[in-house]
Structure 1
Amino acid sequence: MTAHAEWIAPTLSVAEAARKMRDHKIGCLPVGENDRLVGMLTDRDIVCRAVADGADPATTKAADVMTKGITYCFEDDTVDTAIDQLEAKQIHHIPVLSREKKRMIGILALSDLALRGPQNLLTRVSQLASRDSQTSATH
């Protein structure tokens, strides 16, 4: 996982969020409010829900275009459990929470698993990534 992932407030503008993504070379940002995760803002959310609809990125807020709700795993979950959740939700990133305090301690990305995950799971991760790219290509 990528440790020390930061989150953004739901009131942050889409333009500011996009700059954070660009500057940190990332494709998603967890969105938090009142010390709790409330959603995830992805580069795809920005393109499909803001840009494609003609929204002004300077005034549109992250909350307006983010994916609501949050899928997460705990730091002591197995890699298989995390992959199951990525697969079930067809997502590429999942926040990792400490079980004790339920606070975000990092983000696990499909790319993390492909590059540093157990060799025996490489085929499963590759199939998930391949299915996503095939689905995206047809839409």
Structure 2
Amino acid sequence: MKIKDVMHKGVTCVEPRTPVTEIAKRMRDDDIGAIPVRADGQLVGMITDRDITCRAVADGGNLGKLTASDVMTKDIASCSPDDDIVVAIKAMEGKKIRRLPVTDGHKELVGMLSLGDISHKVPKELSGEVLRAVSGHHR
């Protein structure tokens, strides 16, 4: 099964200069836990609700001044729409991540793959294994 058959399209994105408070509101309003960060059409990072909690709130940052570039994860893993779903699953397990951006050959975002997407499309045994592997404690 190819990633393009499982991923969802129409992903909400922000730019590196987007205020963290605006990102948190988008996450709340759209009921999502991660937003890709794009600059000049290319994926440059990812910001999750955990990034906001750990890198902004817990560190005592000035939420009114922090932007996506201050708290985002850089050098993120991604996959191609034509990759086999197993490639994405291994990347998610290895990095203990729940969401994986899908990019074309030019690092342009074309979709997002989440654990939820996988759980609806792959056999239950495999999705359960992925969930267990990804849900381990971060180091």
Shorter-chain TM-score tier:
0.7 to 0.9
Choose which of 23, 27, 51 in structure 2 pairs with 1:45.
Answer: 51
> Residue 121 of structure 2 corresponds to which residue in structure 1?
117
> Residue 55 of structure 1 corresponds to which residue in structure 2?
61
Secondary structure of the structure 2 residue equivalent to 1:77: coil
**Structure (1 or 2) with the greater strand fraction:** 1
- Aligned partner of 1:104: which letter? L
Secondary structure of the structure 2 residue equivalent to 1:10: coil
Deviation of 1:96 (Å):
0.9
Choose which of 79, 86, 107 in structure 1 pairs with 2:112.
Answer: 107
- Aligned partner of 1:128: which letter? A
Query: Could you tell me the TM-score, scaled by structure 1's length?
Result: 0.86
Question: 1:19-78 CA deviation, whole Å, 9 max, x = no partner?
Answer: 010011000110111221111100000000000111122210110011111211011111
**2:40 is aligned with 1:34:** yes
Question: Percent identical across equivalent pairs?
Answer: 39
Q: Which runs of 4+ in 1 moved over 6 A?
A: none
Which one scores higher on RCO, CA 8 angstroms, separation ≥ 6?
A: 2
> Residue 28 of structure 2 corresponds to which residue in structure 1?
22
Q: What is the aligned residue count?
A: 132
Following the alignment from structure 1 to structure 2, what is the Cα–Cα distance between the partners of residues 123 and 16? 34
State the superposition RMSD in angstroms.
Answer: 1.7
- Aligned partner of 2:23: which letter? A
Choose which of 73, 76, 79 in structure 1 pairs with 2:79.
Answer: 73
Question: 1:89-132 CA deviation, whole Å, 9 max, x = no partner?
Answer: 11111111234x54211100112112x12115223223224x43
Following the alignment from structure 1 to structure 2, what is the Cα–Cα distance between the partners of residues 74 and 63? 24
Q: Which runs of 5+ in 2 are unaligned?
A: 1-6
